[in-house]
Structure 1
Amino acid sequence: MIISLVGMPGGGKSTVGRALARQLGMRFVDTDAEIEARLGEAIRSFFDRSGEAAFRDIESEVLSEILAREGEFVLATGGGIVLRDANRDLLRRHSTVLYLRSTPEELFRRLRHDTQRPLLQVRDPLAKLRELYLQRNPLYRRCAHFVLETGRPSVNGLVNMALMQLELAGLVDPGRVAATVGAEKH
């Protein structure tokens, strides 16, 4: 089983993905980390030097390689991975896709001081987030098997929501996960 998380930049894919993988006893894989390892540099510097199209080509190659791997894992994807039809098809065909949906305003609150996301280094980041959301929300929904509203829940709350969806769909054995994610051990 492969569980893929999609959503806007800053939507919690890596944070929720790590926690979900830990809860399920699975490996965690992050496309951005894999891309940076391949490039030998930060995505932002490659993006600035080579442009978005070159970055998207490498992103597609890395996604294809990751989804061809053996074993179970949770995959956090980059926010723009859904821009290519082939990537959406790969994700939907080879994994269970969870869309972590956040509003542009929620994302702006989380990201207003972030200097590492190339697409947000603009004069009006909130306007950019709104533009990206209008473009990408339909694409995330098109490839997602499940949509989780990130709104106010904590990371543990989102992990619980994801586990519940996966259990209800018969994809995760209820015996495989603790009754309460994040509960204190006594």
Structure 2
Amino acid sequence: MRRKGTCMKQRLRRHIVLIGMMGAGKTAVGSELARRLRVPFTDVDSEIEAAAAMTISEIFARDGEAFFRDRETQVLARVLGGPPGVVSTGGGAWMRGENRELIRAHGLSVWLNCDLETLWHRVRQRSTRPLLKTADPKGTLAALIEQRYPVYARADLNFPARPADSVETSATRLIEAIHAAEPELLEQR
């Protein structure tokens, strides 16, 4: 008998695309989820940085947010056109209608839903968040939450974060939630 949360040979029928705010755990939980499902993991922000040979903060400073969002859509389309895997998007990716359509066409969207205090605890010491380079970064984060959460709520699956959960526990819970929401997504072999 296989223990819950252990690796199993599966075939992923569509991408699992993680959306949510910066600090929600998309990269950490996504990479663990991919490891367990034995599928590729792609962080769209990392792909953009690699293609541009600069950080997202540098792209924002040099070219602006609109330029970055266009590159984000291009990279997302390329990634979603490949073999199914787990994909982590930037916090603003889901806000663009074109990206939501791409994700819906190729995958299951999963919102990693985190409260303000958890997010703030995770991002407050990081200088790599260009949208938080303001006089009141926590207030800016709260405003982004107010703006984005109604749009994030359109995701196929709302996955509430539990701040005390480890990455491993979150991945186990997420696999269970995906099986419950869309059992045909994962084909066990």
TM-score of the two chains, using structure 2 as the length reference? 0.87
Which position in structure 2 is the counterpart of 1:180?
A: none
Identity of aligned residues (%): 39
The counterpart of 2:47, out of the listed 30, 34, 48, is: 34
| Unaligned 5+ runs, structure 2 | 1-13
Which position in structure 2 is the counterpart of 1:182?
A: none
Which position in structure 1 is the counterpart of 2:7?
A: none
The counterpart of 1:22, out of the listed 35, 54, 59, is: 35
The counterpart of 1:165, out of the listed 169, 177, 188, is: 177
1:55 paired with 2:54, answer: no
Which position in structure 2 is the counterpart of 1:184?
A: none
Aligned mates of 2:42, 2:90 — CA distance in 1: 11
1:77 paired with 2:99, answer: no
Matched letter for residue 11 of structure 1: A
RMSD: 1.2
CA deviations 1:60-116 (Å, max 9, x no partner) are 1111111111x2210000011012111011112210111000112211111111100
For 1:1-186, what aligned pairs fall within 5 Å after superposition?
1-69=14-82, 71-142=83-154, 144-152=155-163, 153-168=165-180, 169-170=182-183, 171-173=185-187, 175=188
8 A Cα contact 1:100 1:147, kept in partner:
yes
Matched letter for residue 172 of structure 1: L
Aligned mates of 2:115, 2:141 — CA distance in 1: 9
| Unaligned 5+ runs, structure 1 | 177-186
Kindly report structure 1 stretches of 4+ aligned residues shifted beyond 2 Å: none
What secondary structure does 2:153 align onto? Answer: helix
Aligned mates of 1:134, 1:47 — CA distance in 2: 22
Residue correspondences, number: 173
Residue 4 of structure 1, CA deviation: 0.5
Residue 27 of structure 1, CA deviation: 0.6
TM-score of the two chains, using structure 1 as the length reference? 0.89
Matched letter for residue 86 of structure 2: V
**Against the structure 1 CA distance between its residues 124 and 151, is the aligned structure 2 distance closer, same or farther, given a 3 Å change threshold?**
farther
